[in-house]
């Protein structure tokens, strides 16, 4: 069983760091198996934990039921953790295994002096924080967390790509759009697998780094000119870059995997009309939730301790 090994692993991490969370009350609201790992880490560090909106495994970890409402979970909590997955336009949290819906209005009940750790905040949540006097720490773009969860995302990328293509990645004409943290990891993997990789970006330093990895660097202004022979395109840019004009230049049997935040950077309606297989997959960080959650907790624990030290 994973649970006993995980408990020992988290307790070992906590004892080695020497930083106890005893006396801290923490709530985890919304999410999937990754957030269950937050509970394991919090408990191993000595915190009192509550949860709402998580998978049933959360109750086994805590040894008691989840709260009936998210308001009950956050009431009196020193720290509140919620999902890295973006909140919908309607304000709904990501709760794939919870019977019911949870909305961001629950965070209006967070107490003054507390801290909300969230992937990406919203104007509404920022308003609650200003009104109530709690802090908001966004971790979705944290460098440490992004690099820690990159391997699980890459595994998911490879699995989807294999399922949607009839050519191998090796010897393929592959294009990576964007060369941030995810674009870097994607390019390095493609190069290691023997793909002929082109990196498309605006920043000169990023293009130079792509060249160092062995990829062909191309400025974003030249995107339309380089997609005509693509077998597969991996987009990491959170703006519509694969426009109809660009898609019209692509082979109809090519594959597009868009990794940018919803709604992605692809004109999906145009792709469908043109017969190009295009998939939006922004949530691959949850593909291996036990591994991804443990890595995310490593970074979140550091953030929580920093926040507690700041408040002291």
- Tens digits of per-residue pLDDT, 213-259? 999 999 999 999 999 999 999 999 989 999 999 999 999 999 999 99
Please report the sign of the dihedral spanned by the C-alpha atoms of residue 19, residue 22, residue 23, residue 28. Answer: positive
Examine residue 244 and state whether it is found in any structural domain, yes or no: yes
CA separation for the pair 261, 161 (Å, rounded): 18
Q: Residue length, the chain? A: 312
CA separation for the pair 301, 37 (Å, rounded): 12
Examine residue 156 and state whether it is found in any structural domain, yes or no: no
**First CA to last CA distance, the chain:** 39
Residue 2's pLDDT is what? Answer: 44
Asked if residue 124 and residue 56 are part of one domain, the reply reads yes
Q: What percent of the chain has pLDDT over 70?
A: 92
Examine residue 158 and state whether it is found in any structural domain, yes or no: no
CA separation for the pair 255, 237 (Å, rounded): 17
Asked if residue 135 and residue 13 are part of one domain, the reply reads yes
Q: Are strands 232-235 and 196-201 parallel, antiparallel or unpaired?
A: unpaired
Examine residue 188 and state whether it is found in any structural domain, yes or no: yes
Nearest to 255 by CA among 163, 181, 184, 188: 163
**Contact status, residue 234 vs residue 157, Cβ threshold 8 Å:** yes
Given a cut of 60, whether residue 11 has pLDDT beyond it is no
Examine residue 150 and state whether it is found in any structural domain, yes or no: no
CA separation for the pair 285, 209 (Å, rounded): 25
Residue 151's pLDDT is what? Answer: 82
Residue 1's pLDDT is what? Answer: 37
Asked if residue 219 and residue 271 are part of one domain, the reply reads yes
Instruction: Take residue 305 and report the two structure tokens written for it.
Output: 């301790």
CATH of the domain at 252: 3.40.50.720
CA separation for the pair 220, 215 (Å, rounded): 15
Residue 15's pLDDT is what? Answer: 47
Asked if residue 217 and residue 184 are part of one domain, the reply reads yes
Asked if residue 122 and residue 16 are part of one domain, the reply reads yes
Examine residue 104 and state whether it is found in any structural domain, yes or no: yes
- Say if pTM beats, i.e. exceeds, 0.75: no
Asked if residue 117 and residue 225 are part of one domain, the reply reads no
Asked if residue 240 and residue 296 are part of one domain, the reply reads no
Q: What is the mean pLDDT of residues 167-175?
A: 97
Asked if residue 131 and residue 14 are part of one domain, the reply reads yes
Q: What are phi and psi of 46, to 5 degrees?
A: 100, 5
CA separation for the pair 120, 97 (Å, rounded): 21
Q: What are phi and psi of 52, to 5 degrees?
A: -155, 135
CA separation for the pair 102, 208 (Å, rounded): 45
Nearest to 120 by CA among 102, 144, 139, 95: 139
CA separation for the pair 186, 184 (Å, rounded): 5
Given a cut of 70, whether residue 10 has pLDDT beyond it is no
Asked if residue 77 and residue 33 are part of one domain, the reply reads yes
Instruction: Take residue 147 and report the two structure tokens written for it.
Output: 């690099």
Asked if residue 221 and residue 131 are part of one domain, the reply reads no
Nearest to 307 by CA among 139, 73, 173, 61: 139
Examine residue 157 and state whether it is found in any structural domain, yes or no: no
Question: Angle 103-107-108 (CA atoms, 0-180°, nearest 5)?
Answer: 110
H-assigned helices in 165-311: 181-192, 204-213, 223-226, 244-248, 268-274, 289-311
Q: What CA–CA distances, in Å, run from 139 to 15, 81, 119, 261, 268?
A: 24, 10, 5, 15, 28
Q: What is the mean pLDDT of residues 178-198?
A: 95
**Domains in the chain, number:** 2
Q: What is the mean pLDDT of residues 33-39?
A: 94
Residue span of the structural domain in which 114 resides:
2-144+288-311
Give the residue with greater pLDDT, 290 vs 134: 134
Examine residue 63 and state whether it is found in any structural domain, yes or no: yes
Given a cut of 90, whether residue 192 has pLDDT beyond it is yes
pLDDT band at 84 (very low <50, low <70, confident <90, very high): confident
Asked if residue 132 and residue 57 are part of one domain, the reply reads yes
Asked if residue 304 and residue 275 are part of one domain, the reply reads no
CA separation for the pair 242, 256 (Å, rounded): 9
């Amino acid at each position: 069983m994973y649970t006993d090994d995980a408990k020992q692993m988290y307790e070992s991490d906590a004892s080695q760091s020497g930083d106890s969370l005893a006396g801290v009350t923490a709530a985890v609201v919304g999410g999937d198996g990754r957030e269950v790992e937050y509970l394991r880490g919090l408990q191993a560090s000595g915190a009192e934990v509550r949860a709402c909106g998580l998978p049933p495994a959360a109750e086994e970890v805590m040894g008691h039921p989840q709260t009936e409402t998210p308001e009950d979970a956050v009431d009196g909590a020193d720290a509140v953790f919620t999902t890295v997955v973006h909140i919908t336009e309607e304000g709904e949290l990501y709760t794939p295994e919870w019977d019911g819906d949870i909305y961001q209005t629950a965070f209006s009940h967070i107490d003054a002096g507390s801290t909300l750790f969230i992937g990406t905040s919203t104007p509404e949540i920022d308003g609650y924080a200003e009104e109530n006097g709690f802090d908001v720490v966004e971790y979705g773009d944290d460098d440490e967390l992004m690099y820690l969860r990159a391997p699980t995302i890459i595994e998911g990328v490879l699995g989807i790509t294999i399922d949607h293509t009839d050519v191998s990645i090796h010897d393929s004409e592959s294009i990576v759009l964007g060369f941030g943290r995810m674009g870097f990891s994607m390019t390095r993997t493609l190069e290691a697998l023997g793909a002929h990789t082109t990196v498309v970006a605006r920043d000169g330093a990023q293009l130079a780094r792509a060249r160092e990895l062995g990829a062909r660097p191309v400025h974003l202004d030249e995107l339309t000119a380089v997609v005509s022979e693509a077998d597969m395109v991996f987009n990491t840019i959170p703006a519509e870059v694969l426009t109809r004009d660009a898609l019209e230049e692509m082979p109809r049997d090519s594959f597009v995997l868009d990794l940018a935040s919803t709604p992605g950077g692809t004109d999906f309606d145009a792709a469908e009309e043109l017969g190009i297989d295009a998939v939006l997959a922004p949530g691959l960080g949850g593909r291996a939730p036990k591994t991804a959650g443990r890595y995310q907790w490593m970074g979140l624990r550091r953030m929580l301790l920093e926040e507690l030290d700041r408040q002291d």
